[in-house]
Amino acid sequence: MRARKPVVSLLAVAVAVLPLLVGCGAASTADPTSATATPAPSSVVAVPTGPTVTVPGLDETAAGTSSASSATRSTTVSSPAKTTATSSERATTVPPKSSTVDVTTTVTVPPPTPSTSKAAEPPATQHSTTSQPPSTTKAPVSTKQNSGGTMTRKVVVIDPGHNGQNNAHPEIITQQVPAGFGEMKDCNTTGTETRDGYTESLFNWKTALLLKEKLEAKGITVIMTRDSNDGVGPCVNERAAVGNDNNADAVVSIHGDGDLHESVHGFYVMTAERAPAGAAMAAESHRLATDIRDGLVGDGSTPSNSLGDNGLWQRSDLSGLNLSMRPTVMLEMGNMKSATDAGPMTSAAGQDKYAAGIAAGVVAFLVNGG
């Protein structure tokens, strides 16, 4: 009896320990996902989890758009470390050495690359690659448009020669003023007239008003050197200053000739022979003269039959040309002493035809680079 007593004691101990072993085995097979939803009792030790990672492509599939809790995950815990996923990641625990994660189907996790090593970020804002022309705040004075359209930011100075009261104030118009190249001349002159007394100053004024209207219809800014035909002056140097001070794209001075030979008729366009603003500006003046000559011919006017060369003439003695720093021409629209020219020069229809021809030439000049 003394020899069998230890056997009974060992059996009793085994019976007592067996339930505990069974309980420990049950705890080790519990679903890890239930531990994340409901806190474990204080008597059970929580199983440490490995680091959370983001599975590339998982968030973009239709099956994974509802929530992380709706997918079934089978993971193996092998690392005690634990991290918290960002709001744009799925809180999925993946074994460090496992290459698959079970989310109802098996997904192969690709090796980390520089583009997937960071947490997922919202798509970058897309910027348009269409270049917008910079805001144009320093646009040039001249803006080219086609001859049939509207031109903006063009400046044309129209100088109607002489004035209606010049003949009544010789004390003013005979004053000496600078005439260019160190020379001095009379402030202005009276101008000529037809044999019937129709004054040049009136013809110049009316034709200038019609030209102004036609150019403004194109959107061109027009500046006149005088505002009526019942004043005196201004002097030739003051007229030239209007074009210079306003950086005019073109200056057109309108006159009528008074050649006593009635056989002389037709128009001509004059430019400065001595090029006061240099060769480049002289070339622009010549181009303006050519375009106006062509515009007048195209509208039915005839170049002079004896003065100039095919409607063009360079002069060295005209103050308005010698003082101008801008593209400038002076027009003699016809011989007011000739019956051939006096008729159209004194009629509204003739004046309008002259204005239309000049306007066509000015617009051609501006469109082609003026």
All structural domains of the chain, each given as residue ranges with its CATH number in brackets, are 155-367 (3.40.630.40)
Question: Which residue in the list 89, 193, 200, 332 is annotated as catalytic?
Answer: 332
Give the per-residue pLDDT at 147: 42
What pLDDT, on the 0 to 100 scale, is given for residue 31? 42
Beta strands in the chain (DSSP E): 52-53, 73-74, 92-93, 100-103, 105-108, 155-160, 176-180, 183-186, 221-224, 250-257, 268-272, 312-315, 328-335
175: which residues sit within 8 A by CB, 6+ positions away? 186, 187, 235
Angle between helices 348-367 and 279-298 (to 10 degrees): 140
**Residue 69 in this model has a pLDDT that exceeds 90:** no
Candidate from 130-139, 161-170, 294-303, 347-356 with smallest mean pLDDT: 130-139
Query: CA 226, CA 208: separation in Å to the nearest integer?
Result: 10
Q: Is residue 236 within 8 Å of 320, Cβ to Cβ?
A: yes
CB 343 within 8 A of CB 199: no
Q: What is the pLDDT of residues 200-211, one digit of tens each?
A: 999 999 999 999
Assign residue 145 a region (left: φ > 0; alpha: ψ between -120 and 50; beta: otherwise): beta
Report pTM: 0.62
Q: Which of 134, 328, 164, 303 is nearest to 241 (CA)?
A: 328
Active-site annotation holds for 332: yes
Q: How far apart are CA 197 and CA 68, in angstroms?
A: 104
Q: Which residue has the tokens 């959370």?
A: 52
- Residue 150's pLDDT is 58
Q: Can you tell me the mean pLDDT for 171-180?
A: 98
- In the predicted structure, residue 349 carries a pLDDT above the cut 90: yes
Cα angle 26, 28, 30 (rounded to 5 degrees) comes to 75
Closest CA to 220 of 229, 228, 211: 211
The DSSP element (H or E) to which 25 belongs, if any, is: helix 5-28
175 or 102, which is more confident: 175
On the CB side of 262, CA atoms within 13 Å amount to 7
pLDDT, residue 370, reads 61
Distance CA 188, CA 232 (A): 9
